[in-house]
Structure 1
């Protein structure tokens, strides 16, 4: 193991950065040193030791990751917000003491890993050794999860995943009803539009995130119009597995993550679909394409996974849909972390933007 460097000096004006959240403030009151030590060693030694040792022994503390981090850049180069600074203030002390840290440390670590890092992996692109800082941060989040020190809203969405298999507490009858009235809205645009439910053998199972039926229902109608005009043989499940999102991946509850991904894959296999086309959400795509198969012990996915950007690219390229009116205003593209850096859909994204924008 590399020589322990130690955490950074305490921040000045800590109250400025302190996060007040019942999910962080209350659970720490019940933590004991024995429980913390047991959890830390279970995760660091039992689950992640090989990668941790490789990364920690490899890092030369060059600081190149800092300039890649938007938290660091937006806080005037404060070293506490640098990726290596976050690791030094969370993971390093736990490694050095072999888990002998107190409840207040866990609370501070939770504030750092949940509110000061998006696990976007941009820093890893700049690291000369490709160290996966997001994985290290995720391990700290996993420790916080087992300590039950998780931001309340995030934990509520995970609870929803565990109970309803979607992140927004959407009941099955609400899901089906939303699809039906969005089909009617789609027919106001294209009279033959449909949202087929539970169609076995369809070419495409289309999956979305929980917020779509809850607060962005019009996106379902939009998808129906596109699928109809393009002549796609598609379906959506009426049962669990329609939500492809995964907030448990972010909280550190990989057990619930596995359950949610299993339901998603099994929905497509139950319907005997040829592939899954996912909506726009990048974190959902990451959880299905990159994490879902691995957490379930699969080397590859049991069914092909296609992100919306790739799907629209193929439709435009093949002439299956044509753009009636292009956006006239100047438009730029911020490369999304999970589908661009994570999947490499750079050129496909630009192809789509050029097809729909006059000034891109």
Structure 2
């Protein structure tokens, strides 16, 4: 590869194709997206917070190798690193980046699913970071996992997951989705629900540790443990949503105009998130996630849903009003005018609409 640029991310220096020479990152022979730095940083933090060392970490869609190299250099948790890309140019660049950082790794030039099947029962962490949907790789990812471990994935096909393309969503994720005011949460729970069903088919139970939305992608990391009886528990957290006139009703049975199946359980573990925040980067974002995860009920509300005559108080004012009325609520990272609460739509509407009428 002739045109390379030296970059730095976290504690790692590495080479990428120079986007100016190739007409942008999407035209480069090996893909690297600088906008995903936060994604990679949070991934390092969750591996640190996981609290185990000597882990076998596999990234079967490595690109430049930056994610895996950052795991090795920054997390203090990696004992064996397995990197792979189907592109020969990518694997050569991975080797170069490993060398300049003094990191040892096994580097393969294979189809990701072939590699994951070959690694069966040997990995503690499998991180699926594709260009698009992780769906084609999830079954093989679970097969590569040991009895327990971490399974992480990124999805950039957000329009599909939120229901903008319902037929493609049904084909790819086996679920029905359509646009709602809280469509970001629908997309995130759609992704987790799909992974939970795949996990169950491979006799794994999952417990989400972190899941979030950031601009053009969804991201989640979950603890997975093998066992047929445990795997059955996944279905206790999978259900359907009836959305009508602002009301959100969760049910275990589908209806003609319901969304689902979707994950209706916890989207993350607050204790893990607070531990991640102790390491420094993105503290405000992580603390907001932890507060969101403390609300058990799915589906955030948005301020326009409670407007009267087109007028509404600000989100900050609304949170204060609700808390004074004895309703716990918190802002959400999924919408600038959204909030989460365990209270029903009717209870929230009674408080906020009464206040909006009065003002």
Same-fold call, TM cutoff 0.5? no
- Pick the TM interval, shorter chain: under 0.3
Q: Which has more radius of gyration?
A: 1
Report the structure, 1 or 2, having the larger strand content: 2
TM-score by length of 2: 0.24
Report the structure, 1 or 2, having the larger helix content: 1
TM-score by length of 1: 0.24
Larger RCO (CA within 8 A; separation ≥ 6): 1
